[in-house]
Chain A
Amino acid sequence: MDEWTLIEQLKKGDEAAFRTIVDTWQDMVYNAALGIVQNAEDAEDIAQEVFVQVYHSVGSFKGDSKFSTWLYRIAVTKSLDHVRRKRRKKRFGFVRSLFGEDSEMTIDAPDFHHPGVSMEQKENAARLFNAINLLPENQRVAFTLHKLEGLSYQEVSDIMKTTVSSVESLMHRAKSNLQKKLEDYYKDKT
């Protein structure tokens, strides 16, 4: 069954079509969310939210872009919202701790280990994910989609609703920022 038929059937409320859509795109949505939020439980929660939104708002999908592009957009938006919320909570926890109240939010998150990374690259990848966490949002999204999802600059630009040259620029800045952060880390370490 092709993509468009599935979407048309989901618009009519067909549960089998919804199941096929979830089964087909769940890994893509989960992996994209995981790359941004860097936490398996949160990524799972976001993946659920994405498909719930797809179920409710599939009527507004007109087919101007690819269905996967639309899904990526929802996943990226929800993941960034989640990261912002978490950071706000962390800041609030820090402020509370200044006033002597107990707060669990001041504890730094442990290193993130992506399950798709090979054993020998585990430590290096965890270091890289830590550095990615410090990038500005746009650079982080472009880098994650390109490196983790293996998307082309054209596909990333479609998802981010920008031009290919903007994505090239974002990727260039992301790489040089990561390089600088990692250099600083290893200089401090030695």
Chain B
Amino acid sequence: MKHNDEIEKKVEEVLSSLDGIKRAQPQPWLFSRIKARLGREQAEEQTVWGALGSFLSKPAVAIASLCVILLFNGILLFNQPAETPATIIAAQSEQSGSDSESYIASSSSFDFENLVQP
């Protein structure tokens, strides 16, 4: 019992240890360091890649780019299955047709009349 009372007392002491705490202060010359940081940021933004990076990392630009990519993917995905089999068959038959035509054309253009007989 006494043991529990001691623990309770200790806990109360710890819980009230922040009473009357004073505000902590940063190191001196914080403003100079902030100015230096701003200067570094501006210098980075002045390079082409830095400017491109900071432009693309803007949430609005990043989200808009993602939406455009997803939209194109969606369009491709929904259009492709309906067209693919027919397109492939049409392309294949067209290809084989043109192959045979070119074969016929090449064989019909052969000069049989001037063919030198042995």
Contact = CB atoms under 8 A, between A and B. Distances in A.
Do they bind each other? yes
Nearest to A30: B26
A43 B37 CA distance: 16
A49 B88 CA distance: 58
Interface string A47-85: 110011001000000000000000000000000000000
Contacts, number: 95
B27 interface: yes
Contacts of B34: 22, 48, 51-52, 55
B110 to A, nearest CB: 73
B26 A114 contact: no
B7 A186 contact: yes
B24 A115 contact: yes
B101 interface: no
B18 A30 contact: no
Contacts of B31: 19, 22-23, 26
Give the size range of A's interface with the partner.
35 or more
Interface stretch (B8-16, B78-86, B90-98): B8-16
A187 to B, nearest CB: 6
B41 interface: yes
A154 to B, nearest CB: 20
Interface in B15-67: 15, 17-18, 20-27, 30-31, 33-34, 37-38, 41
Given A27-B23, A31-B24, A182-B11, A48 B17 contact: no
B25 A128 contact: no
A122 to B, nearest CB: 9
Interface of B: 3, 7-8, 10-11, 13-15, 17-18, 20-27, 30-31, 33-34, 37-38, 41
16 contacts: A22-B30, A27-B23, A47-B30, A52-B38, A55-B38, A116-B21, A116-B23, A116-B24, A117-B17, A127-B17, A128-B17, A175-B15, A178-B15, A179-B11, A182-B15, A190-B3
Given A31-B25, A117-B21, 19 more contacts: A22-B31, A26-B26, A26-B30, A30-B24, A34-B24, A43-B26, A44-B26, A51-B30, A51-B34, A114-B18, A116-B22, A116-B24, A117-B17, A127-B14, A128-B18, A147-B21, A179-B15, A182-B14, A187-B7
Task: Please provide the 7 A-B residue pairs with the shortest distance between their CB atoms, ordered closest to farther.
Answer: A116-B22, A124-B17, A30-B26, A125-B17, A121-B17, A182-B11, A124-B14
